[in-house]
Amino acid sequence: MTAKLPERLQVKKGNCGASVIPLEGKSLTIGVASDVDILFEAQYVSRRHICIDRIGDDYYVRDLGSTNGSSVNGKELGPDSVPLKNGDIIELASGEVQLEFRSDGTVYLTPRGIEINRDSREVSVNNQIIKPMLSSKLFDILAVLDIYRGKACSKEELASAGWPERSQGEVSDQEIDQSIRRLRKRLEPNPSNPQYIVTIRGYGYRLDNPD
């Protein structure tokens, strides 16, 4: 899917709660500190990592003295501003965050699927954070599905994650299925036709990425 928009940063990798960052003719700081303009959840990104500046009709990027560095198209950034061209790839911390500069007015909106943050226990679907937060039980079940992402996860594994206080065999299939229904209701665009949390009959469930 595409949309016609002015200059943007397309989020190719990383979680900032959006898939497209509008530049809108102003300077933007990017990092993990609470006072930056664009806040990413990333382990190796610095508090104030890079800055995007507009000078005249053009956009430039510079590193703000980050610990783990940044680059444009594989070339290391320093404190001096580097001009951005349509399609340039900006990477922070060896690619933990990857952004694409778009100036042709076309942005490709790519679904991101379900992403979880184990530190904050937040869950996002296509870069939109789910609010209110999932219950502790539902988050723990989703977290173990995420560990097996793309592979089948047994109901025994789900029971251990969601009901750790109960012995093996004490959690019924009905309880597990009910929790999965609740997850789908919170996370799936169409819970009756799930695209993310898929049933593996006679075994368990699988967490899939979007097509």
Higher pLDDT, 186 or 164: 186
Task: Pick the range with the lowest mean pLDDT from 5-19, 125-139, 148-162.
Answer: 5-19
Q: 51 falls in which pLDDT band (50, 70, 90)?
A: very high
Q: 112 falls in which pLDDT band (50, 70, 90)?
A: low
Instruction: Compute the distance between CA of residue 6 and CA of residue 12 in angstroms, rounded to an integer.
Output: 18
CB 20 within 8 A of CB 11: yes
What does the pLDDT read at residue 111?
A: 59
Higher pLDDT, 141 or 8: 141
Query: H helices within 7-84, ranges in order?
Result: none
Q: Hey, what domains does the chain have and what are their CATH numbers?
A: 8-102 (2.60.200.20), 114-207 (1.10.10.10)
pLDDT at 22 over 50: yes
| Average per-residue pLDDT for the chain | 89
With a CB cutoff of 8 Å and minimum separation 6, the contacts of 27 are 37, 51, 52, 53, 54
Residue showing tokens 């009901």 = 163
Query: H helices within the chain, ranges in order?
Result: 136-147, 155-162, 173-187
Instruction: Compute the distance between CA of residue 120 and CA of residue 133 in angstroms, rounded to an integer.
Output: 10
Q: 67 falls in which pLDDT band (50, 70, 90)?
A: very high
Mean pLDDT in residue range 58-85 = 96
pLDDT in tens, 31-45: 999 999 999 989 999
Q: Which of 77, 9, 81, 85 is nearest to 46 (CA)?
A: 77
pLDDT at 85 over 80: yes
What does the pLDDT read at residue 3?
A: 43
What does the pLDDT read at residue 16?
A: 86
What does the pLDDT read at residue 107?
A: 47
DSSP 36: S
What does the pLDDT read at residue 167?
A: 80
Percent of the chain with pLDDT over 90: 63
What does the pLDDT read at residue 163?
A: 93
Q: Which of 33, 37, 38 is nearest to 11 (CA)?
A: 38
Backbone phi, then psi, for 185, in 5-degree steps? -60, -35
pTM exceeding 0.85: no
pLDDT at 173 over 90: yes
